[in-house]
Chain A
Amino acid sequence: MISFGKPLKIALGLIVIAGLIIVPMNFNRYGLFILSQWAVMTIAAMGLNLTLGYAGQVSLAQGAFVGIGAYAAAVMTTHGWPLPAAIVVAIVLSFAVGWVLGYPALRVQHHYLAFVTLAFSTLAFLVFRNESWLTGGIYGISNIPRPHIFGFATNKPLPFYYVCLGSLAIVSLAVWWLIRSPWGRAFMALRENPLRAQSLGIDTRRYTLMAFAIGSALGGIAGGLYAPLTQYIDPVPFNLSLSLDLLMMVIVGGAGFYFGPFLGAMIAVLLPEWLRFTEGYYLMLYAVAVMLLLIWSPTGILGILDRYLAERRTKAASALRAVAKSRLETVQ
């Protein structure tokens, strides 16, 4: 996709990773919180990018899975379980629920699917709010502990930021592997042409359910990190607008591009902070920026880059062809 030289790409990646590790070291508490939030939201958006960007199944319920993961982690860690165990439970739970939510996708597509998942999202919110024996209702769950990783306490913001960053790295590698595996190719076949995929012997039924379940499981992981990050959860952050925000992140970054969710989450989490100097206007400016971007490039930020590179490649190719042609003519 990106036609820089391979060593250049590796160097660029290393610089970004080093920057993410070193630069935040002298950030204040709030800056670290925002960066950790970026990492968590990127994980959730990557899950949605698998479901929507690669497999082409619209979901307006990713926020609900973040909620399921967050409540699983909050309930278990406040009862003395370690966070990794809680995250495993969060993954299993959201995978199972995501699998079930995939069944409507076998019957209906596009906007109908969007509305089924929207309804599910609202139902999940009602359960978070009303089942107060488990979730604490509107008062939520407070004093969620942060984990000890290999004996290190991560109570302070910087160590916990590294927990989030490390989890993001693991998830990124797993997704990188997944979309290059036969499964990833099957997902893309599902998006591009479900009929042809089926006639080539791909079990579209199973892969549709899988796309939902894996995407949802990543939402669960994000939730499992969100709970110890904020150390207090109530139902409000997991309402429909989180699902809509996550969808916006995926589309704005570039659906179906591997790095789309990273950029989309950066814009959704960091841009409002950068615009904070405008005081009450920052969300308004954010909304206008998103609309202008989508008018300019409906395929998101990476869509612009992709188009630019494709154009350059065509130009280079036609230049080569012209040279070859003129050479041929001079020989004759």
Chain B
Amino acid sequence: MSNLFDLLVAGLATGAIYALVAVGFTLLWQTSQTINFAQGEFVMLPAFLMLAAMHAGAPFWLAIILGILLSMILLGLGFKLLLVDPMMRHGVLPLAIATMALAIGLKEAVKQFFSAEASPFPSIVPTGDISILGHAVSLQSIGVLVVAIVAVFGLTALLNRTSLGHQMQAAAQNPTVARIIGVPVERMILLTFLINAFLVALASLLITPIYLAKFSSGEVLGQAAFIAAIVGGFNQVRGAIAGGLLIGVLDNLAAAYVSTQYRAAVPMIFLIAVILFRPQGLLGRAEERTV
């Protein structure tokens, strides 16, 4: 039993990070039909920006702020203006291919300008264990869960409770009508790109202390985020959250109970089953023309 409890906690912690990445992924899809194949690399990059700031002599807290700001400029504003805007009107596929090229470019740039080796990354949560219900739980897992939950609640509150959030939803659901009733659709789309950049930078800050900073670490993360987004529902923020947590837990349980060799197969088979039997996702609404 204690083993199962530990696995659940660890699974929820990684799942919470997947959820952050998956939420950004679905936001981009909803507002601009962007399937971002570079989303995993978007998580890899901010850690290196923070490391670079620290190498330049900045203290850790300042490096975090600089890293998040720089990611919002590069991965939010830059990504939208330089790649998405010129390609959006040409349909989904060319843009998706362009993001694949972007993923290669980001990986190679980090490898070339920083290092091909894995670098350690300081944790924002102190290491050590605390006792919950007689179980030793690592502070890192708790910290990751708390930060991710706060971020997700903040985002849902922004989307559902504020006028800005309602405008964003309107821009995503029906841009034409939104424009008629005076919503600045372009600005709302830009805002979702900035939010995505903020979320991936946060995910980077949380996951890098666990898996180290490496140029290739985005590949696995990106795939996990895709799967989480689809399993939960491509067109729903809360679907992406549920999908992220589910995939995190499933992945950890599969590693313990199925086999380490085929642990990666379990989320894939689950994904295929969900797409075939419930393509709108576990929590999603049916979209027109998906089936």
Contacts and interface: CB of A to CB of B under 8 A. Distances in A.
Specify whether A and B are partners. Answer: yes
Contact of B87 (A116, A119, A283, A298): A298
Contact of A298 (B35, B91, B223): B91
Q: How large is the interface on B (under 10, 10 to 19, 20 to 34, 35 or more residues)?
A: 35 or more
A247 B100 contact: yes
A17 interface: no
State the main secondary structure of chain B at its contact with A.
Answer: helix
Nearest to B263: A126
B97 A107 contact: no
Interface stretch (B11-19, B59-67, B270-278): B270-278
Given A294-B97, A294-B98, A104 B276 contact: yes
State the main secondary structure of chain A at its contact with B.
Answer: helix
B269 A123 contact: yes
A207 interface: no
Contact of B108 (A104, A110, A244, A284): A284
Given A126-B262, A251-B94, A284-B112, A107 B279 contact: yes
A126 B92 CA distance: 29
A247 B99 CA distance: 12
Interface stretch (A151-159, A161-169, A285-293): A285-293
Contact of A122 (B109, B223, B276): B223
B3 interface: no
B131 interface: no
A129 B20 CA distance: 31
Interface in B102-120: 102, 104-105, 108-109, 111-112
Interface of B: 35, 37, 83, 86-87, 90-98, 100-102, 104-105, 108-109, 111-112, 219, 223, 226-227, 230, 234, 261-262, 264-265, 268-269, 271-272, 275-276, 279, 289-291
Interface of A: 58, 104, 107-112, 114-116, 118-120, 122-123, 126, 129-130, 240, 244, 247-248, 251-252, 280-281, 283-284, 286-288, 290-291, 294-295, 298-299
Given A120-B268, A291-B83, 8 more contacts: A108-B276, A108-B290, A112-B279, A247-B97, A251-B93, A288-B101, A294-B94, A295-B87
